[in-house]
Amino acid sequence: MTGWSCLITGAGGFLGQRIVSLLAEEKELQEIRALDKVFRPELQEEFSKLKHKVKLTMLEADILDKQCLKRACQGISVVIHSASIIDIMGTIQRETIMNINLKGTQLLLEACVQANVPIFIYTSTIEVAGPNSYSEIIQNGHEEEHLESKWSSAYPYSKKLAEKVVLAADGWTLKNGGTLYTCALRPMYIYGEGNPFMCQHINQALQNNGILTDFARHSLVNPVYVGNVAWAHILASKALRDPKKAPSIRGQFYYISDDTPHGSYSNFNYILSKEWGLQFDSRMTLPVSLWYWIAFLLEIVSFLLSPIYKYQPPFTRHLVTLSNSVFTFSYKKAQQDLGYKPLYSWEEAKQKTTQWVGSLVKEHKEALKTKIH
């Protein structure tokens, strides 16, 4: 169990940087390799502060570069693969998403075999399970239900295929004759400081006189705090290195949630921003079924125009379904097998996220002042 090293892909991302920070606290960890296409200057600064705790190497590389991956994996005992393109609006080219999310995962698995990396942990998503229909109700879902997304949209489709590849790779023979152990974590919608979707949502509201869009009031979901998802990855890496625990975890996937209250996405955004004066849009909203059919018509228009013009619908059927479904999951299996329990309480997570929302509001006000002067 002593003296291990870890490579994290997507280390500059919203979740990746939290995994790096928590890994740096691990006593017996000897080296962290943080890999991403590019690291923002402020993150480089933050990571260099961790260097007094652990040997930390930042690698700027492309997930599709075989040679770089091979070098990055040399002498590593655990790979945490959290790099991916997240696209819920359908704005990014399908080929790009499939390449990064699926092909990148396949290349990284092959690099692990060549470099004799025995453990591979994959950051999957709740979207590989659905929701497939806004009228379907899943409450306290669990792993034994074997739910599967039927959407052909590039993001859920690429993540679903990549997760299958990872779990099927469990038991592969490494170059030195060893065995590859894999598992996948499926977090709920991840919130917390630095969440790019929340940032976009709050900034939109600030430009709209502090009114939050209410597109998702019919959902019932259980978001999970970013620190708790990062913690689940640390526990999975420990469990797969434990000869007693590993056999029951190999080739398995786990839903990762925490004790954040269940509610709608709209209400959740409101809870985290009301302290700063942001408000709900109190106007009547259309029924979900109508939103769905409008989305369908917009998708047809987009398809018909595609030979001559790239029309991007403001929302799709996938987004309407995602934003308005009853879709909650239990973390019981992760608790049982990985010893997972949330590192941060709802109160702590709420306080940290609310403070961050406050910093966005402050930035907006300062930008307005500068504009006026």
The catalytic residue positions are 155
Burial code of 342-353, b = ≥16 C-beta within 10 A, e = fewer? Answer: bbbeeeebbeeb
| 3-class secondary-structure state, position 337 | helix
Half-sphere exposure of 185 (CA within 13 A, CB side): 32
What residues contact 233, with CB distance under 8 A and at least 6 apart? Answer: 19, 22, 80, 82, 121, 123, 185
Render 257-321 in DSSP notation, one character per residue. --SPPPB-HHHHHHHHHGGGT-EE--S----HHHHHHHHHHHHHHHHHHTTT-----SS-HHHHH
What residues contact 35, with CB distance under 8 A and at least 6 apart? Answer: 7, 8, 9, 10, 11, 59, 60, 61, 63, 72, 83
Give, as one character, the DSSP assignment of residue 102.
Answer: I
Question: Cα Rg for the chain, rounded, in angstroms?
Answer: 21
Closest to 75 measured CA to CA, from 109, 108, 33: 33
In whole angstroms, give the CA distance from residue 339 to residue 333. Answer: 9
In whole angstroms, give the CA distance from residue 197 to residue 369. Answer: 25
| 3-class secondary-structure state, position 131 | coil
What residues contact 68, with CB distance under 8 A and at least 6 apart? Answer: 59, 61, 62
What residues contact 294, with CB distance under 8 A and at least 6 apart? Answer: 286
What are the tokens at 174?
Answer: 């490494």
What are the tokens at 268?
Answer: 């959740």
